Amino acid sequence: MDVELVQGNIADVEADVIVNAANRTLPGGGGVDGVIHAAAGPGLLDECLELRKSKYVSGLPVGQVAVTKAHKLKAKHIFHTVGPVRGKDDLSLLKDCYVNCLKKAEELGAKSIAFPAISTGAYKVPVEYSAKVVREVLGDFLPALRVKLVLYSYADKAIYERVFKEK
Query: Is 33 annotated in the active site?
Result: yes
Whole-number Cα distances in Å, 84 to 5, 61, 63, 103: 22, 10, 7, 19
Examine residue 30 and tell whether it contacts ligand AR6 (CB under 6 A): yes
CB of 143 to ligand AR6, least distance (A): 20
How far apart CA 52 and CA 167 sit, in angstroms, is: 39
Q: Pick between residue 14 and residue 144 the one whose CB is nearest to ligand AR6.
A: 14
Examine residue 10 and tell whether it contacts ligand AR6 (CB under 6 A): yes
Q: Pick between residue 3 and residue 144 the one whose CB is nearest to ligand AR6.
A: 3
Examine residue 116 and tell whether it contacts ligand AR6 (CB under 6 A): yes
Contact (Cβ atoms closer than 8 angstroms) between residue 56 and residue 39: no
How far apart CA 73 and CA 138 sit, in angstroms, is: 25
- One of 2, 12, 16, 33 is an active-site residue; which one? 33
Examine residue 117 and tell whether it contacts ligand AR6 (CB under 6 A): yes
Q: Pick between residue 31 and residue 61 the one whose CB is nearest to ligand AR6.
A: 31
Examine residue 32 and tell whether it contacts ligand AR6 (CB under 6 A): yes
Interface positions, 60-89, toward ligand AR6 (CB under 6 A): 83
CB of 153 to ligand AR6, least distance (A): 6
Closest listed residue to residue 40, CA positions, set 98, 5, 80: 80
Footprint of ligand AR6 (CB under 6 A): 9-11, 21-23, 29-33, 35, 83, 116-123, 150, 152, 156
